[in-house]
């Protein structure tokens, strides 16, 4: 097959031939890697037209609302798989056999405890420290505990680090929660499933056992599964960029956690609850819808809209189902806050502005409601997102390191001062 090319013509210069590559699915890409040699760069702040890498892991078609992990639709995984099996799929690239699945679950169980010194580390945080600040610090600190498997050129070391991260993340997340609410830590119980174990570490105390309702465990597992990966989003790109310098995986994931924190990304589910509290009552909804439409008002409906999904967020469809189930199991359908959320969802779905701009409820609208219904403090919401997303980050990092790569180094359009003379201090104004 002849290689397709695109021709770039710059006035006064000979035309530049640029190769075009085809993916399995999705748009073709023009390779602009050689442009630097022609004394010109491309300009794409926000990277909305730039592919930063090749990847086999996740495919998104935002127009059609499609999300595939290694080719499997997210709705199918939510229905037929579970979080740990999806972790195996994302990291290893294929579904496990029955024996591999059991083996993987046992491996993750084996790694759930964290080094005792982690407790001293976390107790150094102020009593009211934000759990994301604690998690970021704890994951960064993991680099100092696991020297035995930090050779990033060794696939076995990379796999052990991935297992450690997937296994210890719920333990650390629950420790952040316990520190935040002033309760003693609860150690993992390795007889439980991943999600049941997490809920127990969150809600049990040394004085009282906690056994989660199966629907709640299922909803928790779905929250992890639906957040497991999302292609080259801000935090995943951060992990890849940090990793491209050769940094260790724990440091890279800590960088990803920092990037996830912002309200435009993982912080959205926390922001949904702050917004619902601010709206306060169903009678105020129309006023807030008006604010969201007002160009001069910075207010946005949190949990609505997405950079990539422009018809619907397929994760939101599944999360909505779990959200309704959890509210029913907990008997909270008539709770004023959740009635307010449902009313807001309905009004926004029927409003011309939101329809025209394709602003639909995203996964975080519903996950925020579920987590609130479970009695989890809002500050913990993004920590739970980070727990689920860890496998995505580490799978992308591993994919990058397993293939030829170069340090990520974007260029810029410089708009500052030209070279100028340094004035003595007495002449400055």
Residue numbers of the site for ligand CMC (CB under 6 A)? 230, 233, 264-266, 268, 292, 300-307, 357, 359, 362, 364
Report how far residue 347's alpha carbon sits from residue 383's, in angstroms, rounded to the nearest whole number.
Answer: 30
Q: How far is the CB of 225 from ligand CMC (least distance, A)?
A: 14
Cβ distance to ligand CMC smaller for residue 203 or 304: 304
Q: How far is the CB of 132 from ligand CMC (least distance, A)?
A: 14
Q: How far is the CB of 272 from ligand CMC (least distance, A)?
A: 7
Q: How far is the CB of 67 from ligand CMC (least distance, A)?
A: 11
Residue 251 CB: number of other CB atoms within 10 A? 17
Strand partners for 58: 69
Report how far residue 233's alpha carbon sits from residue 242's, in angstroms, rounded to the nearest whole number.
Answer: 14
DSSP annotation of 361 = B
Q: How far is the CB of 254 from ligand CMC (least distance, A)?
A: 18
For the chain, give the number of residues.
429
DSSP characters for 31-72?
--TTGGGGT-----TT-TT------SSEEEETTTTEEEETTE
Report how far residue 104's alpha carbon sits from residue 92's, in angstroms, rounded to the nearest whole number.
Answer: 11
Catalytic residues: 265, 306, 364
Starting at the earlier edge strand, list the strands of the sheet with 72-73.
58-61, 66-69, 72-73
- Cα dihedral sign, 79-83-86-88: negative
Cβ distance to ligand CMC smaller for residue 140 or 266: 266
- Two tokens, residue 186: 């609860």
- Two tokens, residue 361: 């409820």
Taking CA atoms, 95 is separated from 74, 82, 252, 370, 389, in Å, by: 14, 11, 26, 28, 18
Burial string for 79-104 (b: 16+ CB within 10 Å, else e) reads: eebbbbbbbbbbbbeebbeeeebeeb
Q: How far is the CB of 396 from ligand CMC (least distance, A)?
A: 15
Cβ distance to ligand CMC smaller for residue 293 or 342: 293
């Amino acid at each position: 097959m002849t290689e397709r090319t695109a021709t770039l013509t710059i006035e006064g210069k000979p035309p530049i031939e640029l190769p075009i590559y085809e993916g399995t699915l999705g748009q073709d890409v023009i390779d602009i890697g050689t442009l630097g040699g022609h004394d010109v760069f491309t300009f794409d702040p926000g990277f909305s037209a730039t592919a930063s890498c090749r990847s086999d892991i996740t495919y998104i078609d935002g127009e059609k609302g499609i999300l595939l992990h290694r080719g499997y639709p997210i709705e199918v995984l939510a229905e037929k798989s579970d979080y740990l099996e999806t972790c195996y799929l994302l990291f290893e690239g294929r579904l496990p056999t029955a024996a591999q699945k059991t083996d993987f679950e046992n491996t993750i169980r084996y790694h759930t405890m964290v080094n005792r010194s982690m407790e001293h580390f976390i107790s150094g945080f102020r009593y009211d420290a934000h759990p994301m600040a604690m998690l970021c610090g704890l994951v960064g600190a993991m680099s100092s505990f696991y020297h035995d498997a930090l050779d990033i050129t060794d696939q076995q070391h990379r796999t052990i680090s991935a297992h450690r991260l997937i296994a210890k993340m719920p333990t650390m997340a629950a420790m952040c929660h316990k520190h935040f609410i002033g309760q003693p830590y609860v150690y993992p119980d390795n007889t439980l499933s991943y999600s049941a174990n997490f809920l127990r570490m969150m809600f049990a105390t040394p004085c009282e056992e906690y056994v989660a309702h199966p629907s709640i465990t299922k909803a928790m597992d779905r929250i992890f599964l639906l957040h497991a990966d999302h292609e080259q989003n801000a935090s995943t790109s951060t992990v890849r960029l940090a990793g491209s310098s050769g940094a260790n995986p724990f440091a890279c994931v800590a960088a990803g956690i920092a990037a996830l924190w912002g309200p435009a990304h993982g912080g959205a589910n926390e922001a949904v609850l702050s917004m619902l509290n601010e709206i306060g009552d169903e009678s105020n909804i129309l006023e807030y819808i008006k604010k969201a439409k007002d160009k001069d008002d910075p207010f946005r409906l949190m949990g609505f809209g997405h950079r990539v999904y422009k018809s619907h967020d397929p994760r939101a469809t599944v999360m909505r189902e779990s959200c309704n189930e959890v509210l029913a199991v907990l008997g909270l359908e008539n709770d004023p806050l959740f009635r307010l959320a449902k009313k807001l969802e309905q009004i926004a779905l029927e409003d011309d502005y939101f329809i025209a701009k394709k602003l639909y409820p995203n996964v975080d609208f519903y996950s925020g409601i579920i987590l609130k219904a479970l009695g989890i403090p809002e500050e913990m919401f993004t920590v739970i997102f980070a727990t689920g997303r860890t496998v995505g980050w580490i799978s992308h990092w591993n994919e990058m390191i397993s293939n030829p790569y170069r340090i990520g180094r974007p260029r810029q359009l410089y708009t500052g001062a030209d070279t100028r003379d340094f004035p003595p201090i007495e002449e400055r104004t």
